[in-house]
Amino acid sequence: MICAGIDAGSRTIKVALLETGTLKVVACGMGDQGVQQEALAMELLEHLLGQHGLSRRDVRTIIATGYGRNAIQAADETITEITCHARGVRHLLPGARTVVEIGGQDSKLLRLDGDGGVRDFAMNDRCAAGTGRFLEVVAARLGVDLHELGAMARRSAKPAAISSMCVVFAETEIIGLLAAGTPPEDIVAGVQASIAARVCAMTGRNVAEPVVFTGGVALVPGMAEALQSALGRPVAIAPQPQMTGALGAALLACAKREA
């Protein structure tokens, strides 16, 4: 039998399937988010099950997490992404004490205790200037792919200062910088530093190591380095950083079956 974790994020839906008892990952996958969140989640779940000769009858428990978790009516329970990301990261990297999760629409900083529980957390869900959305806006404005940003930032000689706290005003600021002849490389480096600085502001300078970076933005080249520079601490990227929430939800589903 297996358990499933569904992370209905603001931009993507992720599903993880684990064997109960062994906690072996059977399958995981993701797809774009949309209006029909539950239909998309169930389609992805059925697809993963079918790939491994399984059906819904083989699923003992489903836990949903993420921005759209309450839309997943098929879930047996919903749990916050704070708890699920902490559980997923701790499973992959047992020593983790600080987790930075940056997604498409929000960013979070979690402090874990010695047992992997969430001691406290800070969250930014009101301003896109500290999230992946800012990087998407910058990439679109510069006419480049997201994955080109890291290489561009590394070529920067003098990162631009991005002072706006709102992504709309920051985009206007970027237009002004381009008009003034600021190299795109310096703008990208400045934007990455700006996002990292916003995360750093949530820490209160109290950052226990090891620090683990997760969420979709962890896949954007250059962001881990920017975060490491802002925090003044080594930063490790979680394996499959987009999947930690779904993995954590599946792990919690398995734990409930064993309880």
- pLDDT tens-digit profile of 58-67? 999 999 999 8
* Percentage of the chain lying above the pLDDT 70 cut: 95
pTM: 0.90
- Establish whether domains 2-88+242-258 and 96-237 are of one fold: yes
Omega within 30 of 0 (cis) for the link into 241: no
Q: CB pairs under 8 A, 24+ apart, for 20-23?
A: 20/60, 20/254, 20/257, 20/258, 21/254, 21/258, 23/91, 23/251, 23/254
Rounded to 5 degrees, what angle do the CA atoms 62, 110, 90 make? 55
> How far is the C-alpha of 109 from the C-alpha of 100, rounded, in Å?
5
Q: In the chain, what are the domain boundaries?
A: 2-88+242-258, 96-237
**Would you give the distance in Å from CA 207 to the centre of its chain?**
19
Residue keyed to tokens 């499933």: 4
**For the residues 26-52, what does the mean pLDDT come to?**
92
pLDDT over 70 (residue 165): no
Closest CA to 94 of 257, 251, 246, 254: 251
**CB atoms inside a 10 Å sphere around CB 118:** 17
44's tokens: 């992805």
Can you name the CATH fold of 2-88+242-258?
Answer: Nucleotidyltransferase; domain 5 (3.30.420)
pLDDT score of 104? 77
Whether the Cβ atoms of residue 187 and residue 137 lie closer than 8 Å to each other: no
Residue of 125 and 33 predicted with greater confidence? 33
Instruction: Look at residue 164 and tell me whether its pLDDT is greater than 70.
Output: no
* Top-confidence residue, 106 or 188: 188
How high is the pLDDT of residue 34? 75
Work out the mean pLDDT of the chain and round it to a whole number: 90
Average pLDDT over residues 182-186: 94
pLDDT at 257: 66
Contact call for residues 62 and 55 (beta carbons, < 8 A): no
Is 3.30.420.40 the CATH classification of the domain at 96-237?
yes
